[in-house]
Structure 1
Amino acid sequence: MTREYLSLTQVARQLGITLGALSNYKLPEPDARIGRTRGWLPETIDAWNRSRPGRGVGGGRPRKQD
């Protein structure tokens, strides 16, 4: 059975961001490499994205105290 891996362009599309914005993210280690090309399984990107801090409960930058 052939495994499908996501390219950088596909990772950006899955996350709903531009390829340029993706360059600011520290992605997890790739699941596969072919030469210099990296590939990630969709479930790897989904798990990584869920674990990233961000907006929502407990995520993001702390508020300033007055």
Structure 2
Amino acid sequence: MFKMRPQKGTLITAVVVLVLGLLFFVEGHRDPGDIPAHDRSKLALAISVVIAGVLIIISTGRMWFKHLWHDRYR
């Protein structure tokens, strides 16, 4: 029977991208006197959140659109 499930590979990639963005954010905020590093780390976090969001939407795309609810790809 056909079951709709999100794609595991893209979900794992989204989690990895988000964790890397958080690590860059923490590393950038380690020195309280380095204001340009704070700005770069905020930008890196924002970009990683956007990329992770797009990957989650791609992973769950079958569930969002009813015309993709079939099993043609087997």
Q: TM-score, normalised by structure 2?
A: 0.29
Bigger relative CO (Cα 8 Å, ≥ 6 apart)? 2
Q: TM-score, normalised by structure 1?
A: 0.31
Please identify which structure carries the higher strand content.
1
